[in-house]
Structure 1
Amino acid sequence: MPRDVVAQTSNNAVFRLGAGDVINITVYGEEDLSRQKYRLPDSGLIMFPFGEVRALGLSIAELEIRIADGLRGGYLLNPRVSVSIEEYRPFFISGQVAAPGAYPYKSGLTVRMAVSIAGGFKERASESKIFVVRETDPLHTLSKIGLDGEVFPGDAVTVEESFF
């Protein structure tokens, strides 16, 4: 049973890395330490000569700092690290849409856009009974969301059926 909670949406929300994201890591002047098109595994661990770096749940800036700090510990004097997103993990949409499934995430995605990507509403879809489970929510709360609400990588959106 969905709770009567409205999903948080915010223009200043910080993107957090998750399993399936593809990233580029550049350590300037050190090609052997750079990684291109690296898909984050379920463990979220990235191996470096100094050890593992856990990337899951970190922002891009936090990951850059963690890698630079690790490299500073005996490898490089003043490492400059840049991390960029090559490809986001997918979002998921189910329920009363023409083509439910997993779709590639695009920055700035709204529920309205997600429904369109999934082929539009089915005839019995309720435009007011749409719910989201945020991948970043440890409680996996089913929250109500509007058509203009933001969808993030890893989110699961469900469009309910209308009975009228």
Structure 2
Amino acid sequence: MRLTSTLLGLSLICATPLAADPYRLVVGDQITLNYNFLQTPKTATIDLDGNIRLSEIGSIVADGKTFDEVEADVTDAMVKGGFSGIPFVSVEISEYAPIIVSGFIERGGRFDFAPGMTVGVALALSGGAATLDAPTGGNSELSSLAARRRSTTLATDIADTAARISRLEAALAGPEAPVVLPEDLQAAVPRSELPGLENRLIAEAKVLDRARLTAAILIKSWDKEIAEGQLQIGILDERLGLKESTIARISEDLDAARSLQSQGLATNTRTSGLVQRLADEREDLLAIETAKINVRRAISLAERNRQRYESDQHQTRLEALRDARNLLNTLQQNYRISLSELALLYGDVNGLALDDGGIGLQFSILGPRAARFANETVTSNTVLLPGDIVVVGTDVQTSAN
């Protein structure tokens, strides 16, 4: 069964509007924010933890919240951060989280969400349901070859993705963690790809080693800058101590000279000289204290740069791991479908539905809002929300010859 542009048009016409309740953000949504600290509006994507990260304010929880709630949270963060003016905050959607379509379809993957999108629209965008032509007639050999090629490609992609997940998990585990394939990932890899896994893991380990070396060089440079700054602080503290002792001694001499001068036992020249020396020493003291402040600022900047780098690296790896895990799930589903297609090509096909002259399709929805369909049947007219994962299956059953 194939869906045409007619189905796409009908699905859009028949789609019911989004619920009247205020829209609640999900992971993957991209929003545009404008607030007092900005010269121009900025965009932020809700990350794996459900947060948006704003350099001027910090981390704000956005997942599951309305635009008004996010605006209120940003306002509160500004006030708590010491902003003394009248806060101005606006939040708008710039890009919804994508829809993911997988299963018994021609082209699985991510598709941009549009309000009113239905399961039928998502199915049409993915090229419609996959074909199940039996291996008879002139196209049987081509069908078999195409099915085998899809199965082999998917098996290779699964092995590559499993190895990449192992590398990302090792990177998150610590600087010395080795790249090893956990049992759950090993079970996910098709048997045909198991012999090549060791080489894949070695290659991923080399990628991780290079990343760790780069990180070590950067961190070492910041650590050196911090250590040198702390050494300078120690030297400046010693100089401050000496200056303070000198100033105290000159002050005592000046007091004695003034006492003698008041008795007519000392000249004004000695007193003036001591006054000038005291002024010079105090000026030097101020210069040393200023230098100490500047060194402390440099140390603080190096510490912040290191912390920000490590935090950004951790967040990037978390997001990459999430994407790789989602990709692995999609590849596994498509691989199982490819095996079913091979079984259909070489077995008896039973249970074909007569609706629309094709195969009966079954739909399920996964994702952060899947609970709304707990007691409902998902059909081609079901309205989707951003972040939904549509899984397409069939009621086809096969039996071996």
Q: Same fold (TM over 0.5)?
A: yes
Q: CA deviation at 1:137?
A: 4.7
Q: What amino acid maps onto 1:120 in structure 2? A: G
Deviations 1:16-52 (A, max 9, x none): 223322211011x5425x6512222212242354543
Corresponding position: 1:87 with 2:321: no
Deviations 1:52-78 (A, max 9, x none): 311122121210111112223331432
1:65 pairs with 62, 65, 72, which one?
72
Contact 1:94 1:100 in 2 (8 A): yes
Contact 2:18 2:116 in 1 (8 A): no
Give the direction of change, closer, same or farther, for the CA distance of 1:79–1:99 in structure 2 (3 Å limit): same
Q: Which moved more, 1:37-46 or 1:105-114?
A: 37-46
Contact 2:108 2:126 in 1 (8 A): yes
Provide the aligned C-alpha RMSD in A. 2.9
Unmatched segments (≥5 aa) in structure 1: 1-8
Corresponding position: 1:126 with 2:360: yes
Contact 2:119 2:384 in 1 (8 A): yes
Q: CA deviation at 1:103?
A: 1.4
Q: Percent identity?
A: 22
1:75 pairs with 76, 83, 88, which one?
83
- State the match for 2:108 in structure 1: 100
Q: CA separation in 2, counterparts of 1:143 and 1:126?
A: 18
Corresponding position: 1:40 with 2:46: yes
Give the direction of change, closer, same or farther, for the CA distance of 1:95–1:137 in structure 2 (3 Å limit): closer
Q: CA separation in 1, counterparts of 2:122 and 2:96?
A: 15
- State the match for 2:20 in structure 1: 12
Question: Which structure shows the higher helix fraction?
Answer: 2
1:56 pairs with 39, 55, 63, which one?
63
Contact 2:370 2:388 in 1 (8 A): no
Corresponding position: 1:155 with 2:388: yes
Q: CA deviation at 1:133?
A: 1.6
TM-score (norm 1): 0.76
- SS, match of residue 107 in structure 2: coil
Contact 1:130 1:158 in 2 (8 A): yes
- State the match for 1:3 in structure 2: none
Contact 1:132 1:143 in 2 (8 A): no
- State the match for 2:311 in structure 1: none
Give the direction of change, closer, same or farther, for the CA distance of 1:125–1:23 in structure 2 (3 Å limit): farther
Unmatched segments (≥5 aa) in structure 2: 1-16, 132-357
Contact 1:24 1:83 in 2 (8 A): yes
Q: How many positions carry a matched residue from both structures?
A: 153
Structure ID, larger Rg: 2
Q: CA separation in 2, counterparts of 1:142 and 1:94?
A: 22
